[in-house]
Amino acid sequence: MIPILPLLLLVATPQNVALTENFNTGTFPPTGWSQQKANPASTGWKRHAGSLRAWHEDEPLLVGQCNDLLISSSFSLVGFAEAFGHVDVEIKYPEFLANHPFSQADGETSLLYRSGGSGWVKAWTECRTSPGRSSFTSRVPNQFLGQASVELALLYVGKYAHETWIDVVQVDDARVAPGGGGGGGTQWPNIALPTTFLTAPFTEDFEAWAGVPPSFMALSALKSSSLLPDPEAWCSIAGGTVASSSGVRHLEMGLMPGSSNYHNVRNALVIGIDGAASPGWVLDFDVHDYGEEVHAFDGVWVSSDGQFWIQLLTPWGGYPTTWTTVSGLDLGQAGVPLDGNFYVMFAQEDNYPYANFDGVGVDDVVLRTAAGGGCGLAVTMVGTCPGPATFEIEGARPGSRVMLLYGAPGAHTWNGTPCTGLVLGLSGPKVGASWDPASAVLCLPVRLPSSACGLAVQAVDLDACCAGGVTIL
């Protein structure tokens, strides 16, 4: 029997709401809210009568430059260990956003926070390149946690630019938006969780267990179409199929060796980790990719609760078909607290047998302390390679210098100033861009040539000398 019921019960976690607004009734801006317009000719934010949302039009060219803040009532984040802002956003004419790869104007829609009436910090920016409506969840920057007088603002910038509609603005401690949407993590059903937590730091070479996972590990081997256990899914730490990176055993994930019943299977190893010894952790491991195709489930994921998973390493297809070391994957970029119990998942999905045109091997997993407590920098590519795309870089500390590097997947030790000794998750690093961010999120439009596909990108904080996670193009 599959333990679905206990999983469902776990989802009903208590939720503390600091602010919520749906713009349905009463005055506009709502009571306690205000509007700040740089240009008095701008109509600014108003209620869209047809859909009961906040709305900013693409105002006529004659109006000139708009720079309009819709500012919330003050709310308290005292007692919040984590907080998330959820906003339902619709965008029209995204090609008029300044960060669009083929931008025709200077438009921007962003979500900002401030405390005590000064110093706006950007936490989310509209990066979409096609029109649409969805709910976005972004983390409230840590400096606002515990503050009694916080405000958020929706910023519209543009001169005859895009149109934006906003609804259901909520700040709470839940990772998913009201109604279920949101980018605060992905739920993967029926993934087994370990029952204990291994104290970090640790090294795991899979040799000691004779193929039987210890209580801090859990293996899942599922049929992708049903998400039920599949005897032909192969998720094993017993060894003996092909050579390991060390010793005779490693984590093997694929279809069962020898099977010709080709169908997609979903395999996972979840390790329970007790990270109390440090606020930040970095993961190294050896990986052998046998020819994987890209699946959304593929990669390395982190979760604080075993329900909502944050992806740190994207699909396996970019890796060489030999044992390769992935070094310096900063778990801090997941944005979840790491100084307690949490989970790391190695996940694989594909349709051919392990070590036969598909499959992923993992060996020599090392969890070590992150210098400076982890970087928290994450790079997400929106779009495809080759082609126009946008890099979303999240988790930058306002005021710090950030550099975006690219190179072949691998490892490199920084050997000059200012970050001598910093281990990067790519080799032969080249500088793609650098800037002094005024906000925690950046959108960087890029045109990716086919020669860039398969390369790794990584953001580095030059003041903290720490690196974020590696993203494969």
Q: What residues make contact with Ca ion under the rule CB under 5 A?
A: 22-24, 52, 167, 205-206, 244, 246-247, 250, 292-293, 295, 298, 349-352, 358, 363
Residue number, 244 or 304, with CB nearest to Ca ion:
244
Least distance to Ca ion from the beta carbon of 162, Å? Answer: 20
Residue number, 23 or 346, with CB nearest to Ca ion:
23
Residue number, 62 or 212, with CB nearest to Ca ion:
212
Q: Which of 121, 118, 19 is nearest to 72 (CA)?
A: 19
Least distance to Ca ion from the beta carbon of 22, Å? Answer: 4
The whole-angstrom separation of Cα 344 and Cα 281 is 11
Residue number, 144 or 188, with CB nearest to Ca ion:
188
Say whether 249 sits in a helix, a strand or coil.
coil
Asked if 467 contacts 424 with a C-beta cutoff of 8 angstroms, the reply is: yes
Alpha-carbon distances, residue 10 vs 6, 7, 177, 350 (angstroms) = 6, 5, 17, 29
- What's phi and psi for 76, nearest 5 deg? -105, 135
Q: Which of 392, 357, 396 is nearest to 376 (CA)?
A: 396
Q: Pairing between strand 217-223 and 299-303?
A: unpaired
The dihedral built from the CA positions of residue 158, 159, 161 and 162, taken in this order, carries a sign that is positive
Least distance to Ca ion from the beta carbon of 135, Å? Answer: 13
Least distance to Ca ion from the beta carbon of 74, Å? Answer: 21
Least distance to Ca ion from the beta carbon of 1, Å? Answer: 29
Residue number, 205 or 305, with CB nearest to Ca ion:
205
Residue number, 129 or 244, with CB nearest to Ca ion:
244
Q: Which residues pair with 233 in a beta bridge?
A: 255
Least distance to Ca ion from the beta carbon of 294, Å? Answer: 6
| Burial 291-323, CB ≥16 within 10 A → b, else e | bbeebebbbbbbbbbbbbbbbbbbbbbbbeeeb
